[in-house]
Amino acid sequence: MGTPPARLGSPNKVVIACLDGQRLKGYVFNFAASREQFRLFPEENSPQTAGRDVKLATVKAIFFVKEFAGRPEHHDHYELKPGAHGRKLEVVFLDGETVIGTTEAYNPKNPGFFIFPADSESNNSRIFIVNKSVREVKNLQS
């Protein structure tokens, strides 16, 4: 039995939307879409052994959040600001959920891509979307 890989970098708060509808909350270090799995930790300073492996194949999207509780009183708007940097997209998941934002790296042949929400006040700072969980991607005009 080998030792789990060392954690490097700063922790990111995430809420993981799984394909089975489950939501997992915790911290990730050095997430990379090129890897088939990543480690999720329950606390920011959890020991390496406290982490659990999450297979990317079981994930719909990874929401990099500002706060786990969110802000229930805030309703995200989906109007893109003029001059927003990157390609403006509307992403519709297989389950009907929709996300609107901008991206620098959408390619349907890759495992996934990051999108930055249209609403700068959103609790999500960025979202990693797994391509196989997407029904449709629409390019939006600025």
Nearest-5° Cα angle at 141, 138 to 142: 135
- Does the pTM surpass 0.95? The reply is no
Summarised one tens digit per residue, pLDDT across range 83-142 is: 667 899 999 999 999 999 999 989 999 999 999 998 888 899 999 999 999 999 999 875
Cα(17)–Cα(112) distance, rounded to whole angstroms?
14
Q: Where are the domains of the chain?
A: 9-142
